[in-house]
């Protein structure tokens, strides 16, 4: 009996799955939020203590970028967890291996597009 294979082009709704029919995902208009985020986070200029140190370290490593990415701000309520996520992410995504950073970014962008997710 032949086994049916799962399609590799199946689209995920992971990024919008938790939205109700009356809610819409956050969209950008000229890089400004048009709806409030569903997860409360701390903005760069409001960070204090350990979180301010983590944000500052990120800015020092990324001087060409404007502010913390929103995907990382989602963890701002738990600075200890944010630090661990950043450490794991950088170790996985931004170190040289069989694939260079450009290739890893291309794969991540492609997967996000397949999932219809801006991250």
User: pLDDT per residue over 41-96, tens digit each?
Assistant: 999 999 999 999 999 999 998 899 888 998 899 999 999 999 999 999 888 877 88
Determine, yes or no, domain membership for 65.
yes
Domain count, the chain: 1
Is 21 a residue whose pLDDT tops 70?
no
Q: What is the pTM of this model?
A: 0.60
User: Is-contact 77 46, C-beta < 8 A?
Assistant: no
- Cross-strand pairs, 33: 28
CA distances from 28 to 15, 32, 36, 118 (A): 15, 5, 11, 10
Determine, yes or no, domain membership for 73.
yes
- Cross-strand pairs, 32: 29
| 61 phi, psi to nearest 5 deg | -80, -20
Nearest to 23 by CA among 43, 40, 33, 37: 37
pLDDT score of 28:
53
Determine, yes or no, domain membership for 76.
yes
Determine, yes or no, domain membership for 72.
yes
Domain assignment of residue 104, given as a range: 37-114
pLDDT score of 11:
41
Determine, yes or no, domain membership for 7.
no
């Amino acid at each position: 009996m032949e086994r049916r294979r799962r399609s590799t082009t199946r689209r995920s709704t992971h990024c919008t799955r938790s939205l109700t029919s009356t809610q819409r995902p956050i969209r950008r208009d000229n890089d400004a939020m048009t709806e409030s985020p569903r997860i409360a986070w701390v903005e760069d200029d409001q960070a204090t203590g350990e979180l301010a140190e983590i944000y500052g370290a990120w800015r020092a490593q990324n001087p060409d970028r404007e502010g913390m990415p929103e995907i990382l701000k989602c963890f701002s309520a738990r600075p200890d967890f944010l630090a661990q996520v950043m450490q794991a992410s950088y170790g996985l995504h931004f170190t040289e291996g069989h694939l260079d950073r450009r290739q890893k970014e291309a794969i991540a962008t492609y997967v996000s597009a397949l999932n219809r997710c801006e991250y």
